Amino acid sequence: MTKKYVLLVPDGAADEPLDELGGQTPLAAARTPRLEALAASGRLGTVATVPAGMPPGSDVANLAVLGYEPRAVYTGRAPLEAANIGVELSPCDIAYRCNLVTIVDGAMRDFTAGHIDNETARELMGRLADAFRGRPFEFYAGVSYRNLMVWRDGAETACTPPHDILDQGVEPYLPEGEVGAILGEVMSDARAAIAGRSAATDIWLWGQGRAPQIPLFKATWGLSGAVVGAVDLVKGIGRCAGLEVVDVPGATGALDTDYGAKARAAVSALARHDFVFVHVEAPDEAGHMGSLVEKVKAIERIDAEVLAPLLDCDHDPWVLVVPDHPTPIRLRTHTGVPVPFVYGRAGAARAAGAGRAAFSEAAAGAAGLDLSSGRKLMERFLSDAGHSLRPAVVR
């Protein structure tokens, strides 16, 4: 039987020890018998997914866990999202992530505008498209609050992610300089266009960049692949990497996502491909909310509703589980510290039964396998699974 491989990313699941959990992290406190079985039969360790000096965003970190070197391929978050929704960028165009946000009394109260629904978000983006018609700024609907602006023949400047400034005054974080002044005018005009129509009071522009050039996953690793996810960022990375992008009804990129539908889609994709990248956003959303209860619940549902069907499926895949980055409850934003990982063969995990081992930040740190990049993790995972790596890939 042809070997199959799964990369499962519980986005932002890694965290810090919390007093509310008696010094445990959400990963350690959650009921995760399948992760424990995988840990008992496989390999544990830690990996640095965010290169020094780079922002600890899901864009950088997901490129890393997929086996790419972010410094070589990363140009920004928004162009990856543009790739997924079919927006073509010329070499002179700049894409910006366009969050629908709630700003009250000059402070960033909610970077999701109350997790605005897709229908309302599409309406607002349509209003923005109409309001800016004839100007070089184009607006495109994505998923919920995660939308896109393209500045044709534009420019870029440093911008701050809105989830990094929750409950803070926004004035010090507005884009600066000549380019910043133009973006500030765009944000002001947008405010007037969407005023009073929903919890979204403003747009926030960030994640800027030009179209990336990402080597195909199959050309790099010799494996055909698919991506199962909800957010445009992850699906955009998949498209750029030449992976089949599987659309999953009920996958929302939020806490209410259909976990089981993602698992079924992944199992189905394994019949067509060697490798499937499964991404679940919910732990990250809970971390940004500062909700310990929701984060533990999301981790437990990933274990029961996503990992369990993958371990039980007839394909008997090798499975790698690794958060892309931590999203600590205390901070409500990302950090770039190394994250835990575990990998092994599904059949061996099933056979482990009651002989389980902990899967947590502490347990992974104590395992003694500390890898310096996501690329090294992908190499180690595939090599230990018996996949023959091309000499040009192994370093």
110 and 167 part of one domain: yes
Quote the pLDDT of residue 291. Answer: 97
84 within a domain of the structure (yes/no): no
Residue 335 lies inside a defined structural domain of this protein: yes
Note whether 120 and 35 are same-domain residues. Answer: no
Q: Say if 88 falls within a structural domain.
A: no
In sequence order, what DSSP letters do the residues of 285-349 get, joined into one string?
Answer: HHHHHT-HHHHHHHHHHIIIIIIHHHHHSTT--EEEE--SSB--TTTTS---S-EEEEEEEHHHH
* 360 domain residue, yes or no: yes
Confidence of residue 388 (pLDDT cuts 50, 70, 90): confident
Last residue of a domain, one of 192, 209, 226: 209
Residue 368 has pLDDT above 90, yes or no: yes
Whether 140 and 50 map to the same domain: the answer is no
Residue 354 has pLDDT above 70, yes or no: no
- The CA distance from 346 to 38, in Å, is 7
More confident of the two residues 110 and 353: 110
What's the number of domains the chain is made of? Answer: 2
Q: Tokens 């400047």 map to which residue?
A: 157
Domain with 201 in it: 93-209
Asked if residue 183 and residue 164 are part of one domain, the reply reads yes
- Least Cα distance to 138 among 83, 190, 210, 181 occurs for 190
Strand boundaries in the chain, DSSP class E? 5-10, 43-47, 94-104, 107-110, 137-143, 146-151, 202-209, 225-228, 244-246, 275-280, 318-321, 339-345, 370-371
Q: Quick one: pLDDT at residue 390? A: 63
Tell whether 64 and 113 lie within a shared domain: no
* Same domain flag for 250 and 339: yes
Give alpha helix (H) positions in 88-231: 118-131, 177-194, 217-221
Residue 352's pLDDT is what? 83
Q: Are 50 and 336 in contact (CB under 8 A)?
A: yes
Residues 149 and 245 in one domain: no
The chain-wide mean pLDDT, for the chain, equals 96
Final residue in a domain of this structure, among 209, 230, 250: 209
Mean pLDDT of 252-256: 92
Please write the tens of the pLDDT for every residue from 148-183.
Answer: 999 999 999 999 999 999 999 999 999 999 999 999
Residue-level pLDDT at 355: 62
- Asked if residue 232 and residue 379 are part of one domain, the reply reads yes
pTM above 0.85, yes or no: yes
pLDDT digit string, tens, across residues 35-80? 999 999 999 999 999 999 999 999 999 999 999 999 999 999 999 9
Residues, the chain, total?
A: 395
Q: Does 237 share its domain with 333?
A: yes
